[in-house]
Chains A and B, each alone.
Chain A
Amino acid sequence: MQHIVIIGNGISGVTLARHIRKLSDKNITIISAESEYFFSRTALMYVYMGHMKFEHTQPYENHFWKKNRIGLVHGYVKQVNAKNKNVLLSDGKTITYDSLVIATGSKPNKFGWPGQDLEGVQGLYSKQDLEKLEQNAPNKDQCKRAVIVGGGLIGIEMAEMLRSRDIPVTFLVRETSFWNGVLPKGESAMINEHIKEHHIDLRLDTNLKEILPDENGRAKAVVTDKGETIKCDVVGLTAGVTPNIDFLKDSGIELGKGVKVDRLLETNIKDIYAIGDCAEQQEPIGNRRPVEAVWYTGRMMGEALAQTLCGNPMEYNPGHWFNSAKFLDIEYQTYGWVFSERTKKDYESHFHWRHPKEKISITIAFHKETNLFLGINNFGIRLRHELFDRWLNEKRTIQYVLEHFKDANFDPELYDTYEDDIISKYNADFNQNIRPKNKSWKRILNLH
């Protein structure tokens, strides 16, 4: 029986294994050094905050793996030997494979800051990082202040975590406004306000210069490029992630930033594949980046590769871009492409609406000339994925989208609705006369 070995038990590797099992009887082995069973990485923050226990982050009960004949090996792969088709574990064991899939995810970026390897300096990616944070910052007495470096999604999550234990947080953000490389300025400004509402000391346009050690080699302060020294007990490095592929250096597998793969997710060596955060497309797909460290893309690569490995070659062909996040108390979803002022295309125009009091807003991107709907960012309002995916497929205009905006509302029942306000703002901004249609189940579910 053919043996498929998967390195890494994150969402990509596990999705792949599940789908292979559905399609075939092949032997499957998943190797992970991080944890015995699959858990949801995105949920680690809730363990520190006391919303969940670690076991709750595991989507499958422990008996699932045996029942589905998915072998789990708790170990660290030191080396891949492509010639003999085996992998060498750090405990000296070797495992041979017929097909090998690298799904090792990412690790936090470190940009060579002086002091970046001191005690008390850490990223937030793995289960081990969570355990480390529990040691480093158990409470506000042992951690009198934390400094977080890097204003992205993990940075703001780490700030939220520490604040849940009343630990004072200083948040260094390189950009002049939070995440404004991705978010248009109105939204980015709204998140700035919200961060401050949560009593987080937000320092925009500020970089880390160095981390100072105390006599025991622990971090005791950071120095910023503004010349300020901030005393702290913990430094969180959250300036993005990079593929976790150091162990492949001498394997003969072609590496760039990540493991280079073609559209079938195969590397330069036959029968070796890479999926998820650690895979790098030779050519970017559409507006996507060659390396996409996103939960959903990892899952989609797993779904596609399972077909290929089970005799039904299938290119990785993601559909319309979507993503979501939560900034403290503000939920964010996005469908299609909305670029920030920094990355905006020439043809891209924006319509922005923000609630006069609440932290609720949307930005719709559309084509300047054709009015083609390009994408939407929504904050504090939930919208239906299925509808936006369909509207993008059908190449609808922004007018059509707004006219049918009530169909897309996904907020809980009995919530206030804002479609009328949004549409009148659009009508006023662009001198239009759109009237919203009432919600129709027939349209939503595409029933005929």
Chain B
Amino acid sequence: MSGIDKSMSLAGEPPKALNGGQKASVLTGMVGLGIMVLQLFNLHFGNNTLWLSISLLLILLGVAWFSYASYEHKQEGIKNDGVWFKSISSRGILGWMTGITLTGFYIVLYFYPEYLGLVQDGDNRGLIALFDPLSKALSGNPASQWFVYGTLYTLAILAFGIKFMWKYRHSSYQRIRTLSVMFFQTAFAFIIPEIMARLNGDLPYYDLKNMWPLNYYNFERYRVNGFIEAGDIGLAMLIFGVLSIFVISPILTYRFGKRWYCSWVCGCGGLAETVGDPFRHLSDKSKFAWKVERWVVHSVVVFVTLMTTAVIYSYLGNDSSKYWLTKTSFLVGVAVILTAVFAWAMLFKRDQLQKDAQYGAIGYFVIIAVFLGMHFFSGEGNIFLFKSSTLRTSYSFLIGSIFSGVIGTGFYPIFGSRVWCRFGCPMAAILGFQQRLFSKFRITTNGGQCISCGNCSTYCEMGIDVRAYAQKGENIVRSSCVGCGICSAVCPRGVLKLENGPQEGRINSKDVLLGNDVDLMELVNKK
């Protein structure tokens, strides 16, 4: 706005200002965080168990208290006052500082864990040593940088989950969904794998809710061997891993849309929905961003498919008498599955794909061509000129670390909370493909009630221009929609509803909206 800010107050003004409770709770949480930071400098407080507990509890308490102080005195309802005025949530100085700090943390975590106190042979030091007691209690092993990260990640989802539930206390959809992500993170990503490691040391670390291609490493030789060597339970987990991508996820996505995973179960989604919530409106809604999104995320799918195929291909043999699955039969098998999916989409869903069909075809033919190349030109362990392990390390570096961590989370305060889910996650792309073509899920637009205000688009973390559909009276059926339900929550006119219904009439384009002359509507809308 053009108004001159005549206020000299450093603390800002409503709705930017913090009240007393909020200030005290920030102090509490920062003390908790401060204990960890001090640990980085190898100050020995002694008694790690005690100090870790104090630190974690203070952080949890600080965030919970902050939420209470923020929302307790307000009526139930949408709490977006001042979102675009606050420095932290409008790419102000606090936003940039947070982004840089997070990014720095990820770089250290991924590439320089020794700065956090990781010692390969011997006792950990610094921050990681602080977490040793907890790690030993759970799995029996000393902590690693990943254990520290996992603990903080879970703590963040729990603490900010509480905040989110306070903020949306009027919405049972939001409350229950948040409980769900808090549960899956704590139980499936954090506690169960550690306990499984304690019960059966041979089992590879397995977060059961992660499925290929999110855990792109799941079918690598060492893991597959690990599963098989761990006996029946390992074999069961391997089979579950295959079933989850080919059977379980398609059924659930058909029934509920990809939200069953992306905003109810997934850990990345869980972080985005809780910690990332104050930044959801920062996603780019332009058509250009959408175009970039489609190219990038689908390229990742092609890449991960090739990479996984190449990795498995490289450790299979040629002799079918030794093991039933040989290099050639595996390659043919993958090609047949892909061809079946591609043929089904082209035959039955071509009308819904329109221009995207061409891009799909390009992707498909690239993959098949590479397979042929693999078959004819690859030697032992090589895919063309590259070692398959090189492909795998570059994927894990570029996509697994840089994209999902450094950019995906580090840049929350700059690009919004779902950058990874939108541009990088191959799992989201595959579920999205299915959601678009073969699912009961849609966001229904309520007749002609839209007033084009733009709250839905602004608060869409996936950068979907929801309003563009709603103002045409058209349902929103988009592959990227993670079904968080915030568009529906912030709509001041009750226009949007996430629901699962018949596929017939799910996509309904209209030019003249309900409420006008019936003859005119018929004339214009008949296609």
Query: A residues within 8 Å of B by Cβ?
Result: 11, 19, 22, 40, 42-43, 46-47, 49-54, 56-59, 61, 130-131, 134-135, 138-142, 164-166, 197-198, 295-296, 299-300, 303-304, 307, 314-320, 322, 324-326, 328-329, 331, 333, 382-386, 389, 410-416, 441, 444-445, 447
Contacts and interface: CB of A to CB of B under 8 A. Distances in A.
A314 B520 contact: yes
Given A11-B452, A59-B452, A61-B287, A413 B173 contact: yes
Interface in B481-527: 485, 488-490, 492-494, 497-499, 501-502, 504-505, 511-520, 523-524
B511 A331 contact: no
A131 B173 contact: no
B443 to A, nearest CB: 11
Contacts of A333: 449, 493-494
Contacts of B449: 296, 322, 324, 333, 385
A329 B490 CA distance: 11
B20 interface: no
**Interface size range of chain B in the complex:** 35 or more
A248 to B, nearest CB: 27
Contact of A320 (B176, B497, B511, B515): B515
Contacts of B173: 412-415
B166 to A, nearest CB: 15
Interface stretch (B5-13, B208-216, B315-323, B378-386): B5-13
B458 interface: yes
Contacts of B519: 317
Contacts of B7: 138-139, 141-142
Please classify the interface of chain B as helix (H, G, I), strand (E, B), loop, or mixed, using the class held by over half of its residues.
loop
A139 B461 CA distance: 30
B85 interface: yes
Nearest to A47: B1
B452 A40 contact: yes
Contacts of B446: 382, 384-386, 410
B81 A164 contact: yes
A256 B471 CA distance: 32
B451 interface: yes
Contact of A56 (B457, B499, B504, B514): B457
B500 to A, nearest CB: 8
Interface in B465-491: 467-468, 471, 485, 488-490
A410 B137 CA distance: 48
A61 B1 CA distance: 20
Nearest to A63: B287
Given A42-B453, A165-B14, A386-B514, A59 B467 contact: yes
Given A135-B3, A333-B449, A412-B171, A322 B457 contact: no
A138 B493 contact: no
A134 B453 CA distance: 19
Interface in B112-168: none
B29 to A, nearest CB: 24
A329 B505 contact: no
B14 A166 contact: yes
Contacts of B81: 49-51, 164
A58 B7 CA distance: 29
A131 B520 contact: no
Given A46-B454, A165-B13, 6 more contacts: A42-B451, A52-B455, A139-B14, A322-B449, A385-B448, A413-B497
B75 A329 contact: yes
Contacts of A315: 517
A196 to B, nearest CB: 11
A55 to B, nearest CB: 9
Given A52-B84, A141-B13, A389-B514, A296 B452 contact: no
27 contacts: A43-B451, A46-B453, A49-B80, A52-B453, A53-B84, A54-B1, A56-B454, A57-B453, A131-B2, A139-B14, A165-B13, A299-B513, A300-B517, A307-B520, A317-B517, A322-B448, A325-B493, A326-B492, A329-B76, A384-B446, A385-B514, A385-B515, A412-B485, A412-B489, A412-B498, A413-B499, A414-B176
B447 A386 contact: yes
Nearest to A444: B501
A444 to B, nearest CB: 8
A200 to B, nearest CB: 12
Contacts of B448: 296, 299, 322, 385
A326 B495 CA distance: 12
B296 interface: no
Contact of B451 (A40, A198, A384): A40
Interface string B384-424: 00000000000000000000000000000000000000000
A140 B520 contact: no
Contacts of B504: 445, 447
A314 B517 CA distance: 9
7 nearest CB pairs, A to B: A385-B447, A329-B77, A382-B494, A43-B453, A166-B14, A317-B517, A134-B3
Contacts of A197: 75
Nearest to A166: B14
A11 B487 CA distance: 22
A164 to B, nearest CB: 4
A320 B518 CA distance: 10
Given A59-B468, A322-B515, A50 B176 contact: no
A164 B81 CA distance: 6
Contact of B516 (A47, A139, A303): A303
A163 to B, nearest CB: 9
B3 A51 contact: no
A163 B449 CA distance: 26
B502 A441 contact: yes
Contacts of A56: 454, 457-458
Given A165-B13, A447-B505, A198 B1 contact: no
A304 B516 contact: yes
Nearest to B468: A59
Contacts of B451: 40, 42-43, 295, 324
B505 A198 contact: no
A88 to B, nearest CB: 29
Contact of A300 (B78, B172, B516): B516
Nearest to B483: A413
Nearest to B171: A412
Contacts of A303: 511-513, 516, 520, 524
A412 B517 contact: no
A198 B453 contact: no
Contact of A140 (B13, B171, B454): B13
Contacts of A139: 7, 13-14
Contacts of B468: 59
Among B14, B81, B453, B504: residue with most chain A CB under 10 A: B453
B515 A300 contact: yes
Nearest to B84: A50
B498 A131 contact: no
Given A43-B454, A59-B467, A165 B15 contact: yes
B26 interface: no
Nearest to A11: B452
Contact of A51 (B171, B176, B455, B485): B455
A179 B378 CA distance: 78
B17 to A, nearest CB: 8
Among B14, B171, B447, B511: residue with most chain A CB under 10 A: B447
B157 to A, nearest CB: 20
Nearest to A136: B3
B493 A331 contact: yes
A318 B514 CA distance: 10
A138 B286 CA distance: 31
A308 to B, nearest CB: 11
A411 B496 CA distance: 9
B18 interface: no
Contacts of A166: 14-15
Contact of B517 (A11, A318, A329): A318
A252 B416 CA distance: 55
